[in-house]
Structure 1
Amino acid sequence: MFTKKLQFKLASNIKTSERRAVLAEVIEYYNLKNVAKEYELLLLPKTIKAGGFSTVHHSQTIKGTIFSDDSNVPVWFDIAGNQLLPTVFTCWKCPGLLPQVVTHQYVIERLTQGANLMMRGISGPYDPRCKPDTIVGVVDYLRPNVILAVGVCLVLLPEDREKNEGVVVRILHTVNDLLYQLNDNEGVVIPKEIELVVEQTKEEVEPVEEVENVETGEQEAEDNNCDDDRTDDLSRLGETVDTLSLEDVDNFFTRGLLQSIKLDSIETPISSSTLMSNHILKHVPPPQEEINMKKTSWKKTAKYLKAMEKLGYITLKGKGDDLTVVKVISTSEPVIQNFVPTKIKHPTVAAAATAASTAGNNSLQVIKLYRGKSNSLLLFPEIKDPAGYYDAKELRQCLEQYIRVHQLADPKNKKQVLLNDDLKKLCKSATQESKLTRDKLTEALLKSLVHYHQIVSRDDDDNGDSRSSPIVSGEPPKVQVITETRIGRKVVTRLYNFEPFRVHASRFADELKVKCSGSATIGTNAMNKTEIMVQGPHGKLVVDLLKEKGVPVSHIEFEDKSKKKRKK
């Protein structure tokens, strides 16, 4: 089902009471009575985020909710508010949760492409729990218990096996689909095998081997409990010391505004997002992962600015989230005169140089590759594999060798190459000349070939990264960053084409929310490409962040459509 056009709204943490309700629904529907606390945490982690989604399936728009853990690993989802369905990640942590239908690896590949599981594609053994309208998992017979697809069973097994036709499982989710790709935790991989373990219930107790050791065991348990209590107390104390209170974070942002007014020259009118990114956030101490607008009592920039307006520090104009600061308090006012600025420690030059060096080492490289049409490259003896991929340097060397062997250099001008019948045939789609310069001949040769590209990182060879670089047909993509005005004076920044450069959509959107102090949403644009939209004119900031992630500058295009055209 999650094969195309998945639009996902960024998830936010749900309340503890909501989590309990979700867990109760899971336990009731999947008949998991009296399971141990540890198993409950495997079913539904302590921290859960929920976000809405919509996708297109068989020309119909499907809407629902995705529940994920604190690492953004999807764990459950529902469709139109119906029963909760586990993702493959949850099935791997909780083997035995779903009845299993066995099939073959070839069939699994077809399922990942959007097909349903047909009767002819299944094999034994058959799970007697497989009944119509039951949620089931699909496994490869070579890897039992490793569920690779989740769907709804439509038949009764094994009774209906004799029919040998029809759909057995209507597939809703598979490995490597768009729901699976929302996973942010790169450490999660498809397990090779899973041992089926029956979940422990609350009534189960560890057996006692020897009666005479009961008292000793009880004493040791008491001692261990005391140690655990002391450890928990120390952990809670550490959390209290390390975690800032709500009032502390509010105070940082209030001081950030006052310090901006005292030290910066703020030109009004100024949009709320520009004020936040260019002034206030620069006067908020790092780390901004811990001190950001989401950690304040206001939660949103608009509420924060309205609170500052009530204090008399600024004057606002606009409605809702589309606010403009038209006036700031005068620096001659006592509240500004008596304000003592805090020195914000910025990275030193050496640290900045080290960071730049690290970013350079992790930079991505775009390699253009070429492939011959049919057996066109058999002309060059150095080409061992006519269907292989070659870069421009390799092809130029082959061409130079061919020119030397066949003595095609023009005697009157060595820079010119005389074209024989083979070269004319090879480059016929690009040129009809009788002789060309070496550069133009190389260019004509490359134009006559099929173009591919590969995006690689310097770390790939060292780490043996299997994602190292798929070879993709066509010209290399360019990340498009666009700042534009929407609905009156509301300015937004959009970017797309970033995924080929290993920029993860949800992780980058979360980073932009912090850096830009505004909302960021993920959707699909008219070209069916994943797009991130963030409020405010943050084009330069987005470009800088992309460069930090190793995206080559030559493959980033920025266009500012928000500037008004002057009337002639």
Structure 2
Amino acid sequence: MFTKAFRVKSNTVIKGSDRRKLKADVSAAFPSLSADDLKELVPNKEELNVVKIYAHKGDAVTLYVLHRNPLFFQLEKHLYPTVYTLWQYPDLLPAFTTWPPVLQKLTGGADLMLPGVVISSTGLPDVNKGNSCAVNVVSNRAPVAVGTAAMSSREMRTSGMKGKGVNVLHTYMDQLWAFGDKSAPPVISVTDPSVQAEADLDARESGEEETEEMARESEGQNDVSGMTAVESSCQNFQDLSIQDGRKEEKTEEVHGEQEDTRSLQEQMDSLLFQCFLHALKSKVKKSELPLLTGTFLRKHMAACCPKGKNLDIKKSSYKKLSKFLQSMQKEHSLVRVKELSKGVDSIVEVDWRNPELCSFCIPEDWEPPEDCAEDRVSCEVVYKPPEITLLYAVTARLEPLFQDAKKKKGTVLQASEVRSIITDYVKRNELVHEINKSYVNISPVLCDCLLEKSEYQEVGTLKWDDLFSRTLSRMQSCHQLQFPGQVPVVRKGQVDPIDISVASRGSNKKVTTIKNLEGFGIEPAVVADTLQHVVQASSVLHDVPGAKDRQLVQIQGNQVHHIGKLLLEQYQIPRKYIQGLDKAPKAGKKK
């Protein structure tokens, strides 16, 4: 089940009620566990994660992960322990014993056949058809596989130990094991004398075969069958992993020698194909389809490029991404590409069961890029909106009014400071009306600063509110942007709101543009990329004419609703600083 890579749907911390339910389920499924064992497997306070995955064949599986290691997996409401759990509690499940070479077959996806079962002096373990069981090898009691019994113990004996014995679900060195810390199994001594005798005999035979193989190698007889014989005679699975590692190293060396003899064009074709398979296997999720081809190349294939190498389609035989994807569709049947909108291609379907894709293995020396391209959302610096403060600058006309407060032309003040200075000026010059205190008498300075020429002879008093509003309206508007952790920035003029507009193009197609994102410290490229993923529509950046270092985002269709949701919820921009939200398409109407 886990021989090939699986897709993670969600990974969340378990809730208190679910933790109690899990503990009850584990206790019911494995009654041999004591209360202390249950507390160790399902601790009350330590973080326990619930990971929902889809296996490569589409099966929905739930994993329970503690300290990075999956402890149990649930399939069709049945709970099974992983090898990590069985290494702590080797007697948790009835176990069938087999030979070390059989482990290679099990890790490759095969089930355990009865002719490969070693019967101990106590006989076969007592199981019924469908019961959970484990598999170990003669030299070590640590389980290396988990599955279900294909038939009962009685049926196994009746059949003469022929046919399938265990339907294997999970093995050591499969993808579920690789989801954990990839530790090697412990060595647990075999207690049954008959099984120990079989292990000793197997070790002696393995030693003899290995000696013969070494002799053949010294004579120059380097055949592959000899290598297989040595590997199949390993005493335990640690030896197997060592041999496999050596074999992979030799394969990589040979492959490297072949690359040296190829042309640059052939090398780039090979690199493209490798990154293509790597991206499909580990990056692309079914929920992302349809996926823009440009996004697939920029975000997924580029992230899978080995360190020290660069993808350059122009240096390949394909020259264009569209031709490369057509080849992947026609010659390999890996994907299906469709033009969902005019001039814009998208990957609409992936053949997850394609043999080339299933057999592809991610290179062990591959390292994720430092910029975390494969997980853009989690690696980006979290955006925090600026704190915007409205300010007012003293103008030449109002300078006499602020002279006593020693505020010269160009001095920037907040509204509360302006109010305080005007109030102090009125009281100091005794301008409050003698009868009605809500009015202020107009002095020559106030007349020159606040009144129009037509009002000179007509207006003798002003209300307090009118006095303040006239003062602020005759000052130059400014604003201050305070980004977290940065020095405040003061700019002249009103705050330019983010402007969202919708325009029609040929054939009555609509495009949405967004301007003035830089004023709020938002990168237009990030917004364009995010919207492209959300709405699955093409987006481009254009320079704003006459504005240096300013860009506008243009995206196909009327996307005002999605843009508004992005700016209001993710970027937390106040609604009053977003212009054009009313242009969203009405419910029930075609965009």
After TM superposition, the score normalised by the length of structure 2 is 0.37
Q: Which has the larger radius of gyration?
A: 2
Higher RCO structure, 1 or 2 (CA under 8 Å, sep 6+) = 1
After TM superposition, the score normalised by the length of structure 1 is 0.38
